[in-house]
């Protein structure tokens, strides 16, 4: 089953992330306790990314028996080339980034954290760069390396987490095929021990600390595959799906308040619309929003957008601050120019970096759904 809105959903979620970062880099304070502060500053869009990754990779593994070495090669060629390109660019402007943050024109809370991470990047650059080079920063405890996950390229905190899931996903599917209930036991054990591992690691970029959204996507795919293989009737499929998604939404709500459940709610709406065969105004609206040319374009370039946008935000901010730009010009410029440069650079990155290495890692038989999976 092809999910027609998946690319568009990924594109809009990436746009959500870019807008949140652009607003604070433009010198606009986002109150952490306000509604917009929580919506834009809590990583909710990234959680949707995790759900999509869990869903797509699980469906891929269930539909095709790919040797682990070949699977790993495809994943590495999919995520590393564009990531390494923008990691290098981010590393090259670390001194300019430090200057920008030290001379930031507005007093906002986010700047202090960014300054702390940039300072840590420069103080122990070789080790930070090494861990980022191989996406090891997510498995590096904070007691070994200070602030290991947000340094050099701050948004890469989520990329190492995704890569850890990619490494472990075939093991989960192997266990599923051998004994489904044992997989459930392992997942429950991982979720129950997340606080323990958080105390050890000191950050949320370790899979055993931050895995719940991947499991939401993974079990959505497992249920859909069971329906496709006629192991579940339509009634049982929808019943199991409703119970599962309601349970995880309530769990998020109870443990981390309502907004933490928002990514699951977004996914639930999109998923039910995709699997529903009934035409409705909601399904028509869904198609309009997520399958238009702009949303699909953003979906195609979303990975490069995510990797590149902070480079342009810091770069343009540095130029404006260095030349003492007044705040009335600084803010609108920061909201427009870095965004346009990010879109342009991401388009070229997708066309000339991502596509080339995706093709390199694929079989002769190409599947568009798999090709765009992250």
HSE on the CB side for 168, CA within 13 Å? Answer: 20
Question: What is the model's pLDDT at position 326?
Answer: 82
The rounded mean pLDDT for the chain is: 92
Other CB atoms within 10 Å distance of the CB of residue 108: 17
The pLDDT > 90 percentage for the chain reads: 79
pTM of the model: 0.93
277-299 tens-digit pLDDT = 788 888 999 999 999 999 999 99
Distance, CA of 256 to CA of 263 (rounded, Å): 12
Average pLDDT over residues 88-99: 98
Question: What is the model's pLDDT at position 258?
Answer: 67
Where do the domains of the chain lie? 6-371
pLDDT band at 363 (very low <50, low <70, confident <90, very high): low
Which residue has better confidence, 364 or 215? Answer: 215
pLDDT band at 368 (very low <50, low <70, confident <90, very high): very low
Backbone angles phi, psi at 172, to 5 degrees: -60, -40
pLDDT band at 252 (very low <50, low <70, confident <90, very high): confident
CA angle centred on 40, ends 107 and 296, rounded to 5°: 130
20-59 tens-digit pLDDT = 999 999 999 887 777 777 787 778 999 999 999 999 999 9
């Amino acid at each position: 089953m092809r999910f027609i809105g998946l690319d568009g959903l990924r594109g809009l979620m990436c746009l959500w992330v870019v807008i949140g970062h652009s607003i604070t880099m433009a010198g606009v304070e986002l109150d952490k306790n306000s509604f917009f502060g929580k919506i834009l500053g809590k990583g909710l869009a990234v959680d949707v990314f995790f759900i999509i990754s869990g869903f797509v990779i699980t469906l891929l593994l269930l539909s095709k028996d790919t040797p682990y070495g070949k699977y790993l090669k495809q994943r590495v060629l999919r995520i590393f080339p564009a990531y390494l390109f923008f990691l290098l660019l981010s590393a090259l402007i670390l001194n300019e980034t430090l200057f920008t943050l030290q001379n930031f024109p507005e007093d906002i809370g986010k700047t202090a954290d960014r300054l702390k991470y940039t300072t840590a990047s420069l103080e122990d650059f070789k080790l930070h760069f090494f861990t980022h080079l191989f996406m090891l920063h997510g498995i590096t405890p904070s007691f070994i390396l200070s602030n290991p996950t947000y340094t050099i390229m701050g948004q890469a905190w989520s990329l190492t987490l995704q890569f850890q899931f990619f490494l472990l996903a075939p093991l989960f599917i192997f266990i599923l095929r051998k004994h489904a209930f044992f997989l459930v036991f392992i997942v429950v054990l991982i979720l129950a021990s997340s606080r323990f591992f958080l105390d050890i690691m000191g950050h949320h970029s370790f899979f055993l600390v931050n895995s719940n959204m991947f499991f939401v996507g993974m079990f959505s795919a497992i249920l859909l595959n069971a329906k496709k293989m006629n192991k579940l009737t339509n009634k049982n499929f929808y019943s199991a799906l409703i119970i599962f998604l309601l349970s995880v939404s309530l769990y998020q709500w109870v443990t981390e308040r309502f907004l933490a459940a928002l990514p699951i709610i977004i996914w639930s709406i999109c998923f039910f619309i995709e699997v529903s065969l009934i035409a409705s105004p909601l399904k028509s609206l869904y198609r309009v929003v997520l399958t238009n040319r702009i949303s699909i374009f953003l979906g195609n370039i979303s990975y490069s957008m995510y990797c590149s946008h902070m480079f342009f935000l810091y770069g343009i901010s540095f130029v404006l601050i260095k030349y003492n730009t007044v705040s009335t010009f600084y803010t609108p410029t920061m909201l427009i120019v870095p965004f346009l440069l990010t879109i342009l650079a991401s388009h070229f990155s997708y066309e000339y970096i991502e596509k080339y290495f995706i093709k390199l890692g694929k079989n002769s038989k190409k599947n568009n759904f798999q090709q765009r999976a992250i």
